[in-house]
Chain A
Amino acid sequence: MSVGDSATPLGKVRGLGSAREGGEHWLTERVTSMALLLLGTWLIASLLILPKLDLRTVSEWLHAPSGAVPMALLIIIGFKHALDGMKVVVDDYVHEPGNNFALNTLLLFLAVGGGALALFALARIAFGGGA
């Protein structure tokens, strides 16, 4: 499907029409949102179901595969969805190309760095000696 073909002949001559990209970004936002519907609900439900939220209980919860695997997915997909969403906000309000590029790059670094940090912490809990 070539998005650019949707431009009218007059639009093509004037160099107007769609940006010819963005469809995948749009769809990825929706698909990750569906995953987060499940994972976010799982997180809230888990926090409410856990008998206590002290260090020992939380460590044991995230040490078990039933806690560690959904949490890993939540971190990866959550940071990806946050990055995609924040890009839309930046693109909507920051039009100057240099500033737009700088902000989007900053967001990318923050998302990848933050996600790596959270995953590292989770890995230590999951693969550590236990509570």
Chain B
Amino acid sequence: MAATKSRPLSPHLGVYRWGPAMLVSILHRVTGAGLSIVGLAVLTWWLLAVTAGPDAYASFTRVATSPVGLIVLVGLTWAFFQHLLSGIRHLVMDTGAGFDLGVNRLFATLTIAGSMFLTALAWYILMGVGR
């Protein structure tokens, strides 16, 4: 099994012109990594703070509602919706559908518009009704 012959490589990022599909593709990866690392860390910290009692929960709330904390939480909300919508797009494309240029571009653009709209909506509800 001598696999010495070098395999053909596709040209790398630099040769392509940016478009919605490319942007959504890399956003799916970036938001996925962000949710995996930051999102799960915040979720775990939050659950631990609930078990640890009022002082720990107050510490969590203080950090979460600080300017930096809010930026992170709004970012996570946007990452969640972007990853969710582009994930649905990927599931559709896995069936072989949605590869026509116009359709593909439209749905890529819709995931970006949708994630921003849903993030704004979620925080409007949270700020308005919540505390």
Contacts and interface: CB of A to CB of B under 8 A. Distances in A.
Contacts of B10: none
A55 B1 CA distance: 61
Given A14-B5, A55-B54, A121 B44 contact: yes
Contacts of B101: none
Contacts of B40: 78-79, 82, 114, 118
A16 B5 CA distance: 9
A52 B51 contact: no
A interface, over-half SS: helix
Interface residues of B, number: 34
Given A62-B50, A89-B29, A114 B44 contact: yes
B92 to A, nearest CB: 12
Contact of B47 (A15, A37, A44, A125): A125
A33 interface: yes
Nearest to A37: B84
B130 interface: yes
A37 B80 CA distance: 10
Interface of B: 1-3, 5, 7, 29, 32-33, 35-36, 40-41, 43-44, 47-48, 50-51, 53-54, 57, 77, 80, 84, 87-88, 91, 94, 122, 125-126, 129-131
